[in-house]
């Protein structure tokens, strides 16, 4: 019986839950249900590697960051957003969009962008491009930057 327990622990699949929930209680429920860890959306690529390192003991070797690298400009319409882009836009809609984008509720983000499109089509196009690229955190960041 002791051999089976050690073998089970040694070869068992690690389960990481990914969720858009921002509630700490959700984390507790996930861990209690048998998951090994928890990852909130939106997340950064680095967070995935950190979890793999933590749970699998994988060691990543990163390239020296002192070497030269090319910076690529942000593509498309995202650069077209200015303070004036938000002029006359409902604060309520912006707050709802920021909240939905923060927790990556994709359908709600798309619906709110369509609401914005009625009065601010250029801004809606920019947000649509970001949503299509799954850059929900960027949407929330831009709203915060230009409305606070």
- Name the phi and psi angles at 77, rounded to 5: -75, -15
Distance between CA 51 and CA 72 in Å, rounded?
Answer: 28
pLDDT band at residue 13 using 50, 70 and 90 as cut-offs: confident
Mean pLDDT of all residues in 44-61: 81
Mean pLDDT of 70-97: 73
CA nearest neighbour of 80 among 128, 141, 119, 125: 125
Across 46-62, average pLDDT: 80
Predicted confidence (pLDDT) per residue in 106-138, tens digit: 899 999 999 999 999 999 999 999 998 888 888
- What's the whole-model pTM score? 0.50
Mean pLDDT, to the nearest integer, of 69-83? 54
CA distance linking residue 1 with residue 38, whole number of Å: 30
């Amino acid at each position: 019986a002791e051999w089976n327990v050690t073998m089970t622990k040694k070869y068992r699949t690690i389960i990481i839950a990914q969720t858009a929930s921002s509630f700490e209680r959700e984390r507790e429920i996930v861990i209690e249900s048998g998951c090994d860890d928890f990852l909130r959306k939106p997340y950064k690529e680095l967070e995935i590697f950190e979890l793999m390192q933590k749970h699998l003991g994988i060691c990543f070797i990163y390239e020296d960051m002192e070497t030269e690298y090319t910076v690529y400009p942000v593509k498309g319409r995202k650069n077209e957003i200015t303070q004036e882009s938000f002029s006359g836009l409902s604060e309520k809609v912006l707050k709802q969009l920021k909240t939905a984008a923060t927790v990556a509720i994709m359908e709600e983000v798309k619906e709110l962008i369509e609401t914005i499109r009625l009065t601010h089509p250029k801004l809606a196009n920019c947000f649509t491009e970001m949503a299509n690229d799954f850059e929900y955190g960027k949407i929330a960041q831009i709203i915060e930057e230009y409305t606070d």
